[in-house]
């Protein structure tokens, strides 16, 4: 039996919104797999700090910083000008927040679609043609369980992630037969910055973290089969697999790394 070795040496990967949280974990995972990895965020100083952290945890990795606000056409254009060729595009940048459904304004709806949907569309439109010409590429969209289980407290976020599922499937058809795969990753409840404070607002603060998060999941996310929060690195692992040559037959898919949170026998 041959062990699977996920090697992205010689490939350039871009992860949008990768200065913290899930995006940073994805960038680390891609760099450790050998990809030249581009870290993106809006502020140059924050991007520089993330690049430095990545180089510490992945010694010898080829890492570059590309500051740009990809939620605007101008920002996306500046990023593409700085990084004209990408083999692995991970559309991770996103915004979320709670708001009563009837209080979400037109401007808020537009902002969520600009950041969560159109940023990904713009970059796919920019990089997919080059991938097709080279006969190899990977495009991924980081969605959420909220795409399928729309949260009542933030339907604008959930609907924007639902839109990403359609965007991903549509561009997969555009890339059909070219050697380029296009997929969506559905992430479940994840342990990111600020989540611990949120958990301790709902459970006994005297509990150790491992016990606290499991109590939180039992009481507030009972549909999870994992029974704990997902670590960002676990999402990064799936992204690296989907970016690898070994995943060449997986395209047009919505692949879940949600701990069984979505109650469905289909992906």
Read off the pLDDT of residues 130-153 as tens digits, 9 standing for 90 and up: 999 999 999 999 999 999 999 998
* Residue 164 to residues 77, 127, 155, Cα–Cα distance (Å): 21, 17, 14
- Judged against a pLDDT cut of 90, whether residue 5 lies above it is answered with no
Is 200 annotated in the active site?
A: no
Distance CA 236, CA 225 (A): 20
Catalytic residue among 112, 127, 141, 157: 157
As a residue count, the chain comes to 267
Q: What is the pLDDT of residue 4?
A: 72
- Judged against a pLDDT cut of 70, whether residue 128 lies above it is answered with yes
What is the tally of helices (H) and strands (E) in the chain?
9, 7
Distance CA 207, CA 176 (A): 51
- Judged against a pLDDT cut of 70, whether residue 34 lies above it is answered with yes
**In whole numbers, what is the pLDDT of the chain averaged over residues?**
96
Q: What is the pLDDT of residue 2?
A: 52
pLDDT per position as a tens digit, 47-97: 999 999 999 999 999 999 999 999 999 999 999 999 999 999 999 999 998
pLDDT per position as a tens digit, 162-189: 999 999 999 999 999 999 999 999 999 9
- Judged against a pLDDT cut of 60, whether residue 256 lies above it is answered with yes
Q: How confident is the model at residue 195 (pLDDT cuts 50, 70, 90)?
A: confident
Distance CA 189, CA 201 (A): 16
Distance CA 159, CA 96 (A): 11
Which residue has better confidence, 86 or 202? 86
Q: What is the pLDDT of residue 180?
A: 98
Q: What is the pLDDT of residue 3?
A: 61
Instruction: List domains and CATH numbers for the chain.
Output: 12-190+233-256 (3.40.50.720), 191-229 (no CATH)
Which residue has better confidence, 221 or 47? 47
């Amino acid at each position: 039996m041959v062990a699977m070795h996920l090697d992205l040496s010689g490939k350039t990967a871009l992860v949008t919104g990768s200065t913290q949280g899930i995006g940073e974990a994805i960038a680390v995972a891609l760099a450790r797999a050998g990809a030249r990895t581009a870290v993106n965020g809006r502020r140059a100083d924050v991007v520089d700090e993330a690049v430095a952290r990545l180089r510490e945890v992945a010694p010898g990795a080829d890492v570059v910083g590309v500051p740009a606000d990809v939620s605007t056409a101008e920002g996306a254009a500046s990023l593409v000008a700085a990084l004209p060729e990408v083999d692995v595009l991970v559309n991770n940048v996103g915004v979320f927040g709670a708001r009563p459904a009837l209080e979400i304004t037109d401007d808020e709806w537009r902002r969520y679609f600009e950041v969560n949907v159109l940023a990904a569309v713009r970059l796919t439109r920019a990089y997919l043609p080059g991938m097709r010409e080279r006969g190899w590429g990977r495009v991924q969209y980081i969605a959420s369980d909220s795409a399928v289980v729309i949260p009542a407290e933030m339907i604008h976020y959930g609907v924007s992630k639902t839109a990403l599922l359609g965007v991903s499937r549509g561009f997969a058809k555009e890339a059909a037969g070219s050697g380029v795969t296009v997929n969506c990753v559905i992430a479940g409840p994840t342990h990111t910055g600020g989540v611990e404070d949120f958990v301790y607002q709902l459970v006994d603060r005297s509990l150790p973290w491992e016990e606290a998060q499991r109590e939180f999941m039992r009481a507030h996310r009972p549909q999870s089969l994992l029974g704990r929060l997902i670590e960002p690195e676990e999402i990064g692992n799936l992204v690296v697999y989907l970016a690898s040559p070994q995943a060449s037959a997986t395209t047009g898919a919505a692949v879940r790394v949600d701990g069984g949170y979505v109650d469905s026998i289909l992906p």
